[in-house]
Chain A
Amino acid sequence: MRDSVWKILRFLRPLIAVSAGLAAGLLVTALAGENPLHVLAILGRSAFGSRYDFGMTLFYATPLIFTGLSVALAFHAGLFNIGAEGQLTLGALAAATVGICFPGVPAVIAPFLAGLAAFAAGALWGAIPGWLRARRGSHEVINTIMMNFIAVGLSSWVTLYLLKNPDSQNPETQAVAPSYLIKHLDFFGDAPLSIALFVALAAVVAIWIFLSKSTRGFELRSVGQSEGAARAAGISVGRMQILAMALAGGLAGLVGVSEVLGNATRFKVGFSPEYGFMGIAVALLGRSRPLGVLGAALLFGALHKGTADLDMETENITRDLSLILQGLVILSVAADGLWAWLDRRRSP
């Protein structure tokens, strides 16, 4: 009897962790002088309360699915991709560039072309640190961080000097040709949610199949679990590392589809509220499993959307609460040691 309860508890681990993190977050709001139940009600309502609100939650979740998958995939190969932010920046820039430079492409293939460019640009930006790791042994954490800075500089330069929108004060490119824009989901009213959501869902399925059903996926995971064993088994460790980073970069690059083709119609410098770094938290919370990433992305999308409204509807809470909540959730998820300790106490 107690064993089965334990099993259920273990299965619900992420859920318990999230609840604990949320509870701690609500405690913080109580310290700030707000009624936690009221806060929870606003959070829930503003994330799921209407078609528009739910649409906004999904809108924020879409890029988080891409970046979460990106980080998770690299984790499986034993690599830590902190470069999703730079990869998505270049992906979005590439989508916009193609959309501006080739306005004559028919609408049937235009979005695919731009999507492909976004994926390729992200993949290139991921493959470079992957290659450096595999062939030169320099650590991908440092290289991906540096690639982030280069991406910001490069995209800003292209935006301001080559593709600048002359009608605006803001650092943004011209709009892409209309044939590139993808369909909005009108069910969600004014929310800028587009069919990029389905691309993200397809990516979840594709990565799941790749990791758990394909040979390459198996090889990739073997490298992540033990480089030595993988090498002994005849797997080319270096090639797998490059592949993993390229795929990870490509996934992050697909944020360009939801942002440029589905929302802004152009590349805007600084459009991302750090989707790339939130992706790390999403991957951790989702335990690097594709379905877990999906759930975690939805949660973080809801938190991001919800806290903007908290600022509006309460006296003492500002936008920064979102960061506090995310931090607390991650902390409680990362408290794996606690479970191991509980396990040890039960087994002897």
Chain B
Amino acid sequence: MKKLFLNGVGWVSLFAWVCGGALAQEYKVGLILDKGGKDDKSFNSAAFRGATQAKSDLKIFLKYVEATDDNAFETLTRSFAQKDFDLIIGIGVSQAEAIKKVSAQFPSKKFVIVDAEVKAPNVRALLFEEHEGSFLVGAIAAMMSQSGTLGFIGGMDIPLIRRFEMGYVAGAKKINPKVKVISNYVGISGDAWNNPAKGKELAVSQYGAGADIIFAPAGASNLGVFDAAEEKKKFAIGVDSNQNWIKPGYILTSMLKRVDHAVFAAIEDGVKGKFTSGTQRFGLANQGIDYAVDQYNEKLLTPKVRADAEKIKAEIVAGKIKVPDFYLKK
């Protein structure tokens, strides 16, 4: 038995030596995606896009993985650290514990966690003010709605998504105090991020109940919501990435959460030796949060709506509008 292990150790060190020798000059970045995977066209896709851009612009060595189960996060994080990656990026709240534990074991490595706060000297936490952007798209939805009823479909029922919901409802009420918002969640486990069928089912029933615009921060599950929008000839609002292109004409706008920019910036800082730990917040003020206007939706949003939206945005940035934050509720 012992011999077997020694043999294994030998192999690993040989591998490390070969890799280390060949890639000694490259800055190595390991990206660990959440269960939604890199093709969720939303949150994980945004992170993946930022890292891929860093690969082509900054000539880093990039390796990404998708986790098989919750216990795998820690294993993958540690594997990256052991394989001498310089910067390890965990995407999503589920990885907070793994990053916390492994970052303490490898103090010389740098870590990034998105959407959760981990306080350690070698960890940078990237947090986004989702409620601000949700308020903005909520206001836009209320301006555009014919029926006075809006829909909200969240992915997993966690405080983070409640924060989206609270901002969205507040934004809609700001425009039309009598607006009605129907809310549903896809589920309460990680699979809720990747269940387009359930997303579609919920959307069809919300449209049936009179909603004409649905905001869907639901990971890959919102692809089902877009399907329903096309089928019922109604509108949906995308999230995280710019999703306007997925069903042109049916996606009113997308609330952008620039995970791509934040991830790129973290990698750039790492490459240039300017990596800092601590928490970075991204909101409307520093364009970390925004809403998307492009060739796919510029005909949907009237100039008046866009002008009003810009005005609300400026007022939030200036602090004239206080957006309620679910995190500060209790």
User: Is A171 a contact partner of B66 (Cβ separation < 8 A)?
Assistant: no
User: Is A171 a contact partner of B8 (Cβ separation < 8 A)?
Assistant: no
Q: Which of B184-192, B208-216, B259-267 makes up part of the contact surface?
A: B184-192
User: Is B71 a contact partner of A322 (Cβ separation < 8 A)?
Assistant: no
Complex Cα distance, B76 from A53, in Å, reads 12
A34 interfacial by beta-carbon distance below 8 Å: no
Chain A interfacial residues counted at CB < 8 A: 36
B182 interfacial by beta-carbon distance below 8 Å: no
B246 interfacial by beta-carbon distance below 8 Å: no
B69 interfacial by beta-carbon distance below 8 Å: yes
User: Is B65 a contact partner of A312 (Cβ separation < 8 A)?
Assistant: yes
User: Is A54 a contact partner of B5 (Cβ separation < 8 A)?
Assistant: yes
User: Is B78 a contact partner of A171 (Cβ separation < 8 A)?
Assistant: no
User: Is A48 a contact partner of B190 (Cβ separation < 8 A)?
Assistant: no
Known: A169-B116, A270-B70. A53 touches B8 (CB 8 A): yes
User: Is A170 a contact partner of B188 (Cβ separation < 8 A)?
Assistant: no
User: Is B68 a contact partner of A304 (Cβ separation < 8 A)?
Assistant: yes
Query: Quick one: CB contact mask for A37-75 with B, threshold 8 Å, 1 for yes?
Result: 000010001001111011010010000000000000000
Complex Cα distance, B67 from A304, in Å, reads 11
Q: Give B191 Cβ to nearest chain A Cβ, in Å.
A: 6
Q: Give B59 Cβ to nearest chain A Cβ, in Å.
A: 18
A269 interfacial by beta-carbon distance below 8 Å: yes
Known: A45-B12, A169-B93. A268 touches B70 (CB 8 A): yes
Which residues 165-193 in A have Cβ within 8 Å of B in the complex?
168-171, 190, 192
B301 interfacial by beta-carbon distance below 8 Å: no
Given contact pairs A192-B71, A269-B188, A311-B66, a sample of 7 additional A-B residue pairs in the complex whose CB atoms are under 8 Å apart: A48-B4, A50-B5, A50-B9, A169-B96, A270-B70, A271-B69, A308-B75
Query: Quick one: CB contact mask for A129-150 with B, threshold 8 Å, 1 for yes?
Result: 0000000000000000000000
User: Is B71 a contact partner of A263 (Cβ separation < 8 A)?
Assistant: yes
User: Is A48 a contact partner of B8 (Cβ separation < 8 A)?
Assistant: yes
User: Is A322 a contact partner of B68 (Cβ separation < 8 A)?
Assistant: yes
Which residues 1-32 in B have Cβ within 8 Å of A in the complex?
4-5, 8-9, 11-12, 15
Which residues 71-110 in B have Cβ within 8 Å of A in the complex?
71-72, 75-76, 78-80, 83, 93-94, 96, 105
Contacts of B189 in A (CB 8 A): 152, 156, 171, 269-270
Known: A160-B188, A270-B189. A308 touches B63 (CB 8 A): no
A239 interfacial by beta-carbon distance below 8 Å: no
A-B pairs with beta carbons under 8 Å apart, 25 shown: A45-B8, A45-B15, A48-B8, A49-B9, A49-B11, A160-B157, A160-B188, A169-B158, A169-B159, A170-B93, A170-B94, A171-B189, A190-B78, A192-B71, A270-B70, A272-B69, A307-B68, A308-B67, A308-B68, A308-B76, A309-B79, A311-B65, A311-B66, A312-B76, A319-B66
Which residues 49-72 in B have Cβ within 8 Å of A in the complex?
63, 65-72
A273 interfacial by beta-carbon distance below 8 Å: yes
Contacts of A190 in B (CB 8 A): 78, 105
Query: Quick one: CB contact mask for A303-347 with B, threshold 8 Å, 1 for yes?
Result: 011011101100000110010000000000000000000000000
Which residues 101-117 in A have Cβ within 8 Å of B in the complex?
none
Query: Quick one: CB contact mask for B281-317 with A, threshold 8 Å, 1 for yes?
Result: 0000000000000000000000000000000000000
Query: Quick one: CB contact mask for A278-321 with B, threshold 8 Å, 1 for yes?
Result: 00000000000000000000000000110111011000001100
Complex Cα distance, B156 from A346, in Å, reads 59
Contacts of B144 in A (CB 8 A): none
B160 interfacial by beta-carbon distance below 8 Å: yes
Counting chain B CB atoms within 10 Å of each CB, which of A192, A263, A312 scores highest?
A: A312
Complex Cα distance, B192 from A171, in Å, reads 12
Contacts of A271 in B (CB 8 A): 69-71
Complex Cα distance, B67 from A311, in Å, reads 9
